[in-house]
Amino acid sequence: MVILALFPWCLTPELYAAKPDYIQSLADFVRSRPAQSVASFMQQSNAVITHDAESQLSRITALTLITFGRHDVATSTRFADRMKRRIRNSELLIFEACAHTPIYEKVEEFNEKTLDFLQHHAAAAAASSSGSVRRA
């Protein structure tokens, strides 16, 4: 179900054409994990279908990195600007040549850029915190 029904929404046609062995390795990985029952899949799917987070976004005060794949047809970039506006302390990062899963389509780039975000701001927070101690 995941491999036949969800993969095509998550990965670009170009990736299927360029790296069929990699697609196969992702399929093998999914098959190696505990299978989800149809009932649980429908329960989680209904949670997605009935959800609208827009009114909740302004409650997020933590510094936030929003990422999209440029060619995502599941959660399109048409939502990107609205998300960025409503999450007050946010940055937006769009991965080119990706669909819904930059975590698999551009692994190295995704890891590098998200780690950079986390580490940069964690270091800044630590410096700010130690600064407060020094001032005290």
Partner 1 sequence: MPKVKANNITMNYDQQGTGEPLILIPYLSADHACYAFQVAEYAKHFTCISLDLRGTGETDKPEGVYSTELLADDVAAFIRAVGIPKAHISGLSLGDGHRHVAGAQVSRHRHVLVTA
Q: Summarize as ranges the residues that interact with partner 1 (CB under 8 A).
A: 1-2, 6, 29, 33-34, 36-37, 39-41, 43-48, 50-51, 53, 56-57, 59-68, 72, 74-75, 79-80, 83, 87, 100-104, 107, 110-111, 114-115, 117-119, 121-122, 125
- Residue 76 gets the label, from left (phi > 0), alpha (psi -120 to 50) or beta, of beta
Q: Whole-number minimum distance, CB 50 to partner 1, in Å? A: 6
Of 27 and 66, the one with the shorter C-beta distance to partner 1 is 66
Measured CA to CA, the distance from residue 110 to residue 81 in angstroms comes to: 20
CB of 87 to partner 1, least distance (A): 7
18 vs 74 by CB, closer to partner 1: 74
> In the complex, what is the shortest distance from the CB of residue 134 to partner 1, in angstroms, rounded to a whole number?
21
Which CB sits closer to partner 1, 20 or 88?
A: 88
* Smallest distance, partner 1 to C-beta of residue 115, A: 6
Asked whether 25 and 32 are in contact (CB, 8 A), the reply is no
CA 24 to CA 38: how far, in whole Å? 23
Q: Which amino acid is at 27?
A: A
Which of 80, 71, 70, 77 is CA-nearest to residue 9? 71
DSSP letter at 36 equals P
CA dist 81 and 37 (Å) reads 36
